[in-house]
Amino acid sequence: MHPTDFTLRGALDALTEGTISSVELTQAHLDGIAKLNPRLNAYVTVTAEKALAAAKASDERRAAGQVGALEGIPLAIKDLFCTAGTRTTAGSRILDSFVPPYESTVSQKLLDDGAVFLGKANLDEFAMGSSNTTSASGPVENPWSRANDPDTRLVPGGSSGGSAAAVAARLALGATATDTGGSIRQPAAFCGIAGIKPTYGRCSRFGIVAFASSLDQAGPVARTVEDCAILLKSMAGFDPKDSTSADLPVPDFARACERGVKGLRIGVPKEYRLDGMAPEIVALWEQGLQWLRDAGAETVEISLPHAKYALPTYYIVAPAEASSNLARYDGVRFGMRVTEPGSDLRDLYERTRAAGFGAEVRRRIMIGTYVLSAGYYDAYYLKAQKVRALIRRDFENAYADVDAIVTPATPSAAFGMDEKQDDPVAMYLNDIFTVTANLAGLPGLAVPAGLDAQGLPLGLQVIGRAFDEETVFAVGRALERAAGFSALPRLRAGA
Amino acid sequence: MSLDTATIRRIASLARIRLDDSEVEQAQAEINGILGWIEQLQEVDTDGVEPMAGGSPVAQAKARLRPDAVTDGGQADAILANAPDRQGEYFGVPKVVE
């Protein structure tokens, strides 16, 4: 077996048994990166020397009997997490040369548990996008391709496209990601892997470049549900440096995976049966529900009457918060600066921000600035926060009757790099099934569940109650077991 | 509601993003497209609904207070390490006061 074919769980077992070392495991992944990253562009920065030194230190700790929960496991870190001494770009020109002097809480927790960082994963600029085509470091390619059309290069989804592509192509055993409207779950589904956005407050946001603070959550992507559970256990936990961090114990998520679904009531939102939905997506959804019934769960139709307003609500709240958060990029304290001879301070701000931000980021800052501007705040932002309260209430009502909700993860499989790029609203519709969980703050897991007619992966989504990731993992694992998803992308290490 | 070019210029100015004349029309079309789509929220009856504040899934999550004490500081070099124009212990900017 090639070392890059291990699951994270399998690699931990092999390291424990001594059949492989962290240095060997890390080197195999670095070899895969050297071979495939020039094409996939999944990594923005590869920290090969640091990774090998960390792997060697991990092997020494293991030999001395000090074994962390992720001891020696090579991971990719989305380039939105600040990493001390390693450039962190957020996929933006404006942070092109930014080297954080501090470490994000989530990445520090992974280091504390013995993980090895291979490098920083590509992403849409400031995590704004659903295709990973807005990165200043160039687009990421999905390692999958259509069976009947292998030459059309597909997007990996976004914004965590580099994380998802790296894990799918076996260039990391797992990766950190973030999800503001679907940025973990949509790329996971497009790349045939699993990914969970936990409950808002479960993972600290300290040291993660902010996009929309009331929606942003960190989470893992990995090739199995159990691997996600192992990673989330390490990433999660209370952090006094994040005022919205939840002061709650972190359960043993991996153990919850094997709970089974017998007796669970699974909600099926009728509003998610969209007009014109691809028949393959409808069929996969039905199949998933049947798998759960076969495993002893009961499926129940529920109603989320305000779900259809989720995307327009999101496209007020997220740009508004982004326009505030991104005000810090002023060309003065860090990041790039652009001036002309004779520029005054205002001109410095305006030139720096015009040159430093890409088109999608500029567009969202302007929308956000408008909806927050004097005279329009009530009509837009306040209205959206009221609709958001109704969306959360819809879920509260549903969870009086069901334990979890199952939906498709995305309205389609991965699309071509040149498709859907002209119309922002068409691009935004990618998040139609995922964005409600961000607005309501709830956990959502994407699980690979099947292939479309062209051989591309499709995912299902499990949405849970607040802070009940355990049930989400149990349902996700049951779907994963029944689906037996074993297809592989064409581009992958060791192939 | 459709925004005119003057409003687009005003938003760009508020956002401190330089917008060349050639970029105004495209920005106008894109922003109006998005705002037109967002407009559907006006049909939702939100009378008497308390707006959500923050992202917590638990209604009325309480803000935590910590002791009002200094916990950090004395890190001028780390703070200035990424400055585009460092002047001693200060960030340099173009002359602001004549």
Q: Which member of A58, A130, A159, A204 is catalytic? A: A159
Task: Specify if A119 maps to a domain.
Answer: yes
∠ CA A126-A130-A136, rounded to 5°:
40
pLDDT bracket for residue A246 (50, 70, 90) = very high
> Which DSSP letter does residue A382 get?
I
A78 is catalytic: yes
At residue B60, the pLDDT reads 55
Tell me the H-state helices in A64-184. 105-112, 161-168
**What does the block give as tokens for A254?**
């991996």
Tell me the residue ranges of DSSP E strands in A132-191. 174-179
Query: Are B15 and A345 a contacting pair at CB < 8 A?
Result: no
The greatest distance separating any two alpha carbons of chain B, rounded to the nearest whole angstrom, comes to 57
Interface of B with A in 5-64 (CB under 8 A): 7-8, 11-19, 27, 30-31, 33-35, 37-42, 44, 46, 49-59, 61, 63-64
Helix axes A8-17, A22-40, angle to 10 degrees: 150
Full set of structural domains in chain B with CATH: 1-40 (1.10.20)
Number of domains into which chain A is organized: 1
CATH code (residue A26): 3.90.1300.10
Interface of A with B in 41-100 (CB under 8 A): 97-99
Residues in B closer than 8 angstroms to A364, CB to CB, are none
Task: Specify if A200 maps to a domain.
Answer: yes
Nearest to A373 among B14, B41, B63 (CB): B14
**Residue closest to A33 by CA, chosen among A118, A149, A132, A135:** A118
Distance CA A266, CA A355 (A): 49
Q: Count of CB contacts below 8 A, A vs B?
A: 170
At residue A232, the pLDDT reads 98
Look at residue A120 and tell me whether its pLDDT is greater than 90: yes
CB B52 within 8 A of CB A383: no
Task: Specify if A269 maps to a domain.
Answer: no
B36 to chain A: closest CA residue: A312
Question: What are the distances in angstroms from CA B8 to CA A49, A133, A425, B23?
Answer: 48, 26, 19, 10
Question: Which residues 6+ apart lie within 8 Å of A15 measured at CB?
Answer: A21, A22, A25, A62, A71, A72, A73
Nearest to B52 among A333, A349, A388 (CB): A388
Query: Are A244 and B55 a contacting pair at CB < 8 A?
Result: yes
Question: pLDDT per residue over A334-363, tens digit each?
Answer: 999 999 999 999 999 999 999 999 999 999
Nearest to B40 among A312, A346, A423 (CB): A312
At residue A475, the pLDDT reads 98
Task: Specify if A219 maps to a domain.
Answer: yes
Look at residue A3 and tell me whether its pLDDT is greater than 90: yes
A183 is catalytic: yes
- Between the two ends of chain B, the Cα-to-Cα distance in Å is 42
Q: For the residues A382-391, what does the mean pLDDT come to?
A: 97
Task: Specify if A112 maps to a domain.
Answer: yes
Encode burial over A209-240: b for 16+ CB neighbours within 10 A, e otherwise. Answer: bbbbbbbbbbbbbbbbbbbbbbbbbbbbbbbe
Global pTM reads 0.97
A159 is catalytic: yes
Is the backbone peptide bond immediately before A324 cis, with ω within 30 degrees of 0? no
pLDDT bracket for residue A423 (50, 70, 90) = confident
Question: pLDDT per residue over A6-52, tens digit each?
Answer: 999 999 999 999 999 999 999 999 999 999 999 999 999 999 999 99
pLDDT bracket for residue A1 (50, 70, 90) = confident
User: Which structural domain range is residue A234 located in?
Assistant: 3-261+472-483
Spans in chain B with pLDDT lower than 70 = 1, 59-61
Q: For the residues A219-241, what does the mean pLDDT come to?
A: 97
Residues in A closer than 8 angstroms to B60, CB to CB, are none
CA distance B63 to chain A (A): 7
Q: Which of A360, A366, A388 to mutate to test the interface with B (most CBs of B within 10 A)?
A: A366
At residue A277, the pLDDT reads 85
Question: pLDDT per residue over A126-182, tens digit each?
Answer: 999 999 999 999 999 999 999 999 999 999 999 999 999 999 999 999 999 999 999
Helix (H, G, I), strand (E, B) or coil at A222: strand
Look at residue A418 and tell me whether its pLDDT is greater than 70: yes
Chain B CB within 8 Å of residue A349 CB: yes
pLDDT bracket for residue A99 (50, 70, 90) = very high
Residues in B closer than 8 angstroms to A238, CB to CB, are none
Residues in A closer than 8 angstroms to B14, CB to CB, are 369, 373
At residue A425, the pLDDT reads 77
CA distance B95 to chain A (A): 7
Nearest to B16 among A315, A350, A370 (CB): A350
Task: Specify if A453 maps to a domain.
Answer: no
At residue B61, the pLDDT reads 60
Nearest to A354 among B18, B31, B56 (CB): B18
**Residue closest to A222 by CA, chosen among A180, A170, A258:** A170
Q: For the residues A84-102, what does the mean pLDDT come to?
A: 97
B55 to chain A: closest CA residue: A214
A198 to chain B: closest CA residue: B57
